[in-house]
Structure 1
Amino acid sequence: MSSILRIVQSFFWILLGVAVGYILLVFLMYLLQGKMIYHPQKSLSYTPEDVGLSYDDITFTTEDGLSLHGWYIPADSNITVLYFHGNAGNISGRLQTIQLLHDLGVNVFIFDYRGYGKSDGRPSEEGTYKDARAAWDYLESERNTESDRIVIMGRSLGGAVASWLAVQKQSAVTATIIESTFISAADLGADLYPWLPVRSIIKYDYNTIENIKQIESPLFMAHSRDDEIIPYYHGKSLFEAANSPKTFVELQGSHGSGFWETGEKYRRALRQFLNANTRNQ
């Protein structure tokens, strides 16, 4: 009898240890959410000159007084793509995107969120929204870009930020491009960490699907079935929720490079979308 009791007691302490460990892990994940979402890199490895493109080095200020850094890459066009990058690195890791858009004949304005690259501050959800608004204001006030000549584009986390700005500038933006983006921060977290109560502890919203439902400008979307970070069904769910007119391109390749690996199929579709929905004259 005593041996059975010892076994029961041992089993109890094992379960208690596992439960305590799990609770501590959940608490740690709660505290470290910001570090799990944002992975900024401060040093810039390359500039557009490394791919033969001239550019203007830009600084501009947010409504809460932070100085942000970006690049403006001209293409002798009156259409400008305002580009929002993903959660890791900084603008110097987006030269393929810059070159591709430049080759399509549009100006590109790309910048780093607060805490990334040469931009001041620390990243946060509300901060990325303030940064997005400041970037739009820079194009209008400093570049004298007419609002109906601005295309909002974002990839991954940048797609969530872009969708938010597209709603804020509903009557102004000419077209919106969202690629390899998640339904919401909670949905993606639940996919990545199914063993955690993500929906109960997450402090971030980034509710792309609710923004998508409100966007009325022509919408271009793309996602890869091979995406190893954001499952393909996220992109399809966003597309199904979107209003017309809308275009979807299925990419091939990884999360970070599917647009490049897909090649001409992607470039052709994006070129057709831009030609059909912008007044580049």
Structure 2
Amino acid sequence: MLEKIKDIWKKYFMLSCFMCILTMLTLFLLVKFDDLVLGLVVMAILLLILNILFCKLLNRFVKSKRIKTCFLTVLILINIIVSASTTISLLSDQMFFYPNQDKEAYNKNLKNENYEEIKITKDDDILNGWLLKNIEGKAPLIIYFGGNGECSARRFDNNFVSKKWGYFEEYNFMMVDYPGYGNTSGTPSDKTMFENALKTYDYAVSREDVDQKNIVIMGYSIGTGVATYLASQRDIKSLILLAPYDEGITLYNSQVNIFYGPLKYLVKYKFESIEYAKSVKVKPLILASKDDELIPYSSSFKLSNQFPCGSNLITYEGFKHNDFWGQIEVLEKVEEHLQEVKDE
């Protein structure tokens, strides 16, 4: 019996390898798609081609009905795995980013004499955002990276209406939208967001009204990954993180809690804050809530231990992920930290 199995294995080894290789290549190609409809159409076409090819190979090289049945069973499993994996990958991308604009807030901001619209053109990309000018001349600057549902126009308008700018009155405040958000061109991903963060910083330090030695990077939610990356690549005065995460898979699981085991490999956008933190040269202020329903407190705590200079982790309870900007104690702590680093 054992010899018979070995003989079958040797006989059909090349065919099995061929099926596995083509399957892996197909899956690798499909999970690279960003467009849901196009990805599903390409998936259907590729699976059709693979099924026809495999069936022709089976009819040519396999005569035994029992062996054919085994291969056809495997083929069905391949179809299920490829279809499910591709669909999960495409849908998770659709749910991962929330590009948005707020034309009403944008038009209101244009009338605010303390606001300057930021337009950065580089490498055929257009970066757009806003700058709050609290101080004339060379001034300390906060570069802020917002959450997934934020755009710069809305954040600036909200802060004006709710009178939150008072917590930042000794700093100018800049926010440039992620690719695909607001009026910034491009498509959001960890790569494009990181690239734009570097462009934003380099633009900021080129301005005559920016104190290059007093730049604070601030991030919230998904923006904490961008902020941590930027802090690992450029010289900054301080880093402030609101509701940070350790890596991108945490964000995926906050949307669809399935990316464990082999499904981890379907995570396209890594956002590896836990690795970037190791190259940050300042001691960050980290604000996290134990009742955050999107980013587990354990994820923020894990990240807080990765900074070479240590971190100042402030733990809260009683409010959720979207409540950080509405908490007076959070804003007061940020204000206190900004004053401390400014006077250093």
Q: TM-score normalised to the size of structure 2?
A: 0.67
Distance 1:243 1:69, change over 3 A: same
CA distance in 1 between partners of 2:289 and 2:104 (Å): 27
Counterpart pick for 1:94 among 135, 141, 155:
155
Verify the 8 A CA contact 1:154 1:160 in the aligned structure 2. Answer: yes
- How far off is 1:137 after superposition? 1.4
1:112 alignment partner in structure 2: 177
Verify the 8 A CA contact 2:96 2:252 in the aligned structure 1. Answer: no
1:163 alignment partner in structure 2: 228
- How far off is 1:143 after superposition? 4.1
1:266 alignment partner in structure 2: 330
2:314 alignment partner in structure 1: 249
The question of 1:68 aligning with 2:115 is answered no
Please, what is the CA RMSD of the aligned residues? 2.8
Moved more, 21-30 or 66-75: 21-30
Distance 1:71 1:221, change over 3 A: same
The question of 1:58 aligning with 2:124 is answered no
Write the deviation string for residues 146-196 of structure 1: whole angstroms up to 9, x where unpaired. Answer: 322110111111100000000001xx2000111112111123334654434
Helix, strand or coil: the match of 1:221?
Answer: strand
CA distance in 1 between partners of 2:253 and 2:190 (Å): 18
The question of 1:36 aligning with 2:116 is answered no
- How far off is 1:245 after superposition? 5.0
Helix, strand or coil: the match of 1:149?
Answer: strand
The question of 1:125 aligning with 2:190 is answered yes
Deviating 4+ runs (over 4 angstroms) = 16-23, 47-53, 96-99
Helix, strand or coil: the match of 1:271?
Answer: helix
Distance 1:152 1:97, change over 3 A: farther
Verify the 8 A CA contact 2:254 2:294 in the aligned structure 1. Answer: no
Helix, strand or coil: the match of 1:278?
Answer: helix
Unaligned runs of 5+ in 1: 1-15
Verify the 8 A CA contact 1:184 1:209 in the aligned structure 2. Answer: yes
Instruction: Kindly provide the amino acid, as one letter, of the partner of residue 277 in structure 1.
Output: V
2:296 alignment partner in structure 1: 231
Helix, strand or coil: the match of 1:177?
Answer: strand
Moved more, 116-125 or 149-158: 116-125
CA distance in 1 between partners of 2:151 and 2:250 (Å): 25
1:178 alignment partner in structure 2: 241
Instruction: Kindly provide the amino acid, as one letter, of the partner of residue 118 in structure 2.
Output: I
Alignment of 1:7-26 (within 5 A): 24-26=83-85
CA distance in 1 between partners of 2:250 and 2:236 (Å): 27
Counterpart pick for 1:103 among 146, 157, 167:
167
Verify the 8 A CA contact 1:226 1:254 in the aligned structure 2. Answer: yes
Verify the 8 A CA contact 2:167 2:335 in the aligned structure 1. Answer: no
1:220 alignment partner in structure 2: 285
Q: TM-score normalised to the size of structure 1?
A: 0.81
How many residue pairs end up in the alignment? 260
CA distance in 1 between partners of 2:119 and 2:112 (Å): 22
- How far off is 1:102 after superposition? 4.5
Instruction: Kindly provide the amino acid, as one letter, of the partner of residue 112 in structure 1.
Output: D
Verify the 8 A CA contact 1:183 1:207 in the aligned structure 2. Answer: yes
Helix, strand or coil: the match of 1:61?
Answer: strand
Instruction: Kindly provide the amino acid, as one letter, of the partner of residue 131 in structure 1.
Output: N
Asked which structure has the greater CA Rg, the reply is: 2
CA distance in 2 between partners of 1:142 and 1:123 (Å): 26
Verify the 8 A CA contact 2:305 2:311 in the aligned structure 1. Answer: no
CA distance in 2 between partners of 1:189 and 1:72 (Å): 31
Verify the 8 A CA contact 2:237 2:341 in the aligned structure 1. Answer: yes
CA distance in 2 between partners of 1:97 and 1:152 (Å): 18
Write the deviation string for residues 122-162 of structure 1: whole angstroms up to 9, x where unpaired. Answer: 21221111110111111111344232211011111110000
Greater per-residue helix proportion: 2
Instruction: Kindly provide the amino acid, as one letter, of the partner of residue 55 in structure 1.
Output: Y
Verify the 8 A CA contact 2:240 2:286 in the aligned structure 1. Answer: yes
The question of 1:276 aligning with 2:340 is answered yes
Verify the 8 A CA contact 1:75 1:102 in the aligned structure 2. Answer: no
- How far off is 1:248 after superposition? 1.9
- How far off is 1:51 after superposition? 11
